[in-house]
Chain A
Amino acid sequence: MASLDTGALELGALDAISRLDSPMQRLDPRAKLLATTAFLVTVVSWGRYEIVGLLPLAAFPLFLCAAGRVPLGFVARKLLIAAPFVLVLGAFNPIFDTAPREIAAGIAIPGGWISYLSIVLRFALTVAAAIALVAVTGMNPVCSAAERLGAPRIFVAQLALLYRYLFVLAAQTQRMQRAAALRAPGRRRPSIALFGSLVGHLLLRTLDRAQRIHLAMRCRGFQGQMPLLRPMRFGLADAAFVACWVAFVAAVRFFDLPALLGRLALGSWG
């Protein structure tokens, strides 16, 4: 995981985007969640050597970003941070899978390179879609949507709390880290004993904080559910959004759209 201090700032940026007002942000979170799920299942359902079939699917994250005013550079940065695991694991494909595959008449390259490219493409598509979903929806509405779709209430409530206190505890940890560094100049990292005491203190403070939070929540009438600022209403636009994207990903999956388009462009229809 990327260190949270840069991560926390980026989380703030995500929140800011989700509070913008555009048609994408106004859609019901459930609609966006359903469409994203259909998209993800379609992406991973392709065979391991698929590349061309995956390309039209880029329309979904691109559309979410464009219509929801999510800066593409922001998504790209997140992609880069998350990339290493998949890049390393996928890199074994060219090593183990050397059987040549024909990509065009007379041109064949080892199958491993094709499947590696396919993995990288899948990675970019799925991660970009997830980031775009949260960016145009916001974390708390995603949680409530999950609850409306059947996730246990206690789980959703504590997911929302986790998100809320992530920032608070991250700031507290940074202060502790700075204090420790100032008292131990010339030492890059704390020893394991000091680490135990640092994290232990953080934990004790966290537990006390949780107690205060609980009391405060009870005082404000908390009964196990987080209120929403934007009420959820699944309207015609939401239904149309889901229907269009499900139809699109199904069309991409069952028909070879790029080939059709290419044949159309080259004038060799039929």
Chain B
Amino acid sequence: MHMADALISPFVGGAGWAASLGLVGYSARKIKIAADDASVPLMGVGAAFVFAAQMLNFAIPGTGSSGHLGGGLMLAALLGPHAAFLAMASILTVQALLFADGGLLALGCNVVNLGFFPCFIAYPLLFRPIAGSSPNRARLSAASMIAAIVGLQLGALAVVLETKLSGVTALPFGAFALLMQPIHLAIGAVEGLATAAVLLFVWQARPGILHAGDTGAFSKKLVAALLVAALVVSASAGWIASSRPDGLEWAIAKVTGEADLVAQAPDAGSSLAGVVGAALTLLLAGLVGLALRRRLAAKG
């Protein structure tokens, strides 16, 4: 469920970046205060572990299909919410840069959708209270299942909201939500199953390993403030998005004094010129590329 650059507007991408930069800064500060630099290799290698673990598939009981680990909740249970959030942010960065999952502009949104919700909402508000301070099999399984499902539902909802606010796709909000939420109910259940299986094993093999530090990522006051801020932002963003179809376009129009830069219905002459020009542009770009390649090859 990675958001892609192709589907977002600069406004939504920028908001996602602002939110995730703030959270990365906040988490980095928290970790610096809380622990020595031993946490750096642990986070880095832990993040690499999530990548590796995603290669392992398991058979989903009762169906013919297979599932794998997502990782956000699992990392939170092992490293605590702040370190887990940084690890998730770095995983998503690597996915955006090397696997072309999502994109650089959508990275902020993805960090919020797949990092913030499991680490800062599902883990402290659901996983820890349900697992309790002395977990047992049933509690660990229930905590993993519920927290994974809720975390993914929130993430999926955020994808729908971001897509809607960006206005690049024509999908109506209701239809998109009806598509995304049930799919992610299933994905969340698989994620919960996988997380529970691994955590149960670790809890039996090395009980002390599960994160036993601070109970919650944020104080209740901060959570309340964040929720209010999110509501205000989404409400105002919705208003802006509905009254100004595209933030940047609107800004450009203001700057240049033109009402609309995009020609709505081109007349015959200019549209033919547009097609010819487009073809020429591509040809030119290709030729420049070819020439550069030749020159470099000649140089060796």
Q: Bound complex: CA of A113 vs CA of B49, how far in Å?
A: 42
Q: Which residue of B lies closest to A187 (CB)?
A: B59
- Of listed A48, A123, A134, A168, residue having the most chain B CB within 10 A: A48
Query: Is the C-beta of B101 less than 8 angstroms from some C-beta in chain A?
Result: yes
Query: Is the C-beta of B265 less than 8 angstroms from some C-beta in chain A?
Result: yes
Interface string of A87-129 (1 = CB under 8 A from B): 0011011001100011111000001100100111011001100
Query: Is the C-beta of B56 less than 8 angstroms from some C-beta in chain A?
Result: yes
Count of A-B contacts judged by CB separation below 8 Å: 378
Query: Is the C-beta of A67 less than 8 angstroms from some C-beta in chain B?
Result: yes
Query: Is the C-beta of B245 less than 8 angstroms from some C-beta in chain A?
Result: yes
A248 vs chain B, min Cβ distance (A): 11
Contacting chain A: which of B39-47, B117-125, B148-156, B216-224?
B39-47
Partner among A1, A101, A198, A263 whose Cβ is within 8 Å of the Cβ of B95: A1
CB pair A159 B6 closer than 8 Å: no
Q: How big is the B interface, by class?
A: 35 or more
Q: Bound complex: CA of A6 vs CA of B42, how far in Å?
A: 26
Query: Is the C-beta of B15 less than 8 angstroms from some C-beta in chain A?
Result: no
A199-B169 CB under 8 A given contacts A127-B103, A259-B270: no
Query: Is the C-beta of A152 less than 8 angstroms from some C-beta in chain B?
Result: yes
CB pair B100 A131 closer than 8 Å: yes
A270 vs chain B, min Cβ distance (A): 11
Interface string of B268-286 (1 = CB under 8 A from A): 1111111111101110111
A199-B51 CB under 8 A given contacts A142-B97, A210-B41, A262-B275: no
Q: Which residue of B lies closest to A264 (CB)?
A: B277
Query: Is the C-beta of A247 less than 8 angstroms from some C-beta in chain B?
Result: no
Residues of B within 8 Å of A214, CB to CB, are: 37-38, 40-42
Give the residues from 1 to 58 in chain B that come closer than 8 angstroms, CB to CB, to chain A: 1-2, 4-10, 13, 24-25, 28-29, 31-32, 37-38, 40-49, 51-58
CB pair A191 B99 closer than 8 Å: no
B95 vs chain A, min Cβ distance (A): 7
Contacting chain A: which of B127-135, B193-201, B226-234?
B193-201
A residues with CB within 8 A of B: 1-5, 7, 11, 14, 22, 36-37, 40-41, 43-50, 52-53, 55-56, 58-59, 62-63, 65-67, 69, 78-79, 81-82, 85-86, 89-90, 92-93, 96-97, 101-105, 111-112, 115, 118-120, 122-123, 126-127, 130-131, 133-134, 139, 142, 151-155, 157-166, 168-170, 172-174, 176-177, 188-204, 206-207, 209-211, 213-214, 217, 222-224, 253-254, 256-263, 265-266, 268
User: Can you spell out 9 A-B residue pairs with CB atoms less than 8 angstroms apart?
Assistant: A40-B105, A48-B170, A62-B289, A90-B169, A105-B271, A126-B105, A170-B52, A195-B58, A214-B37
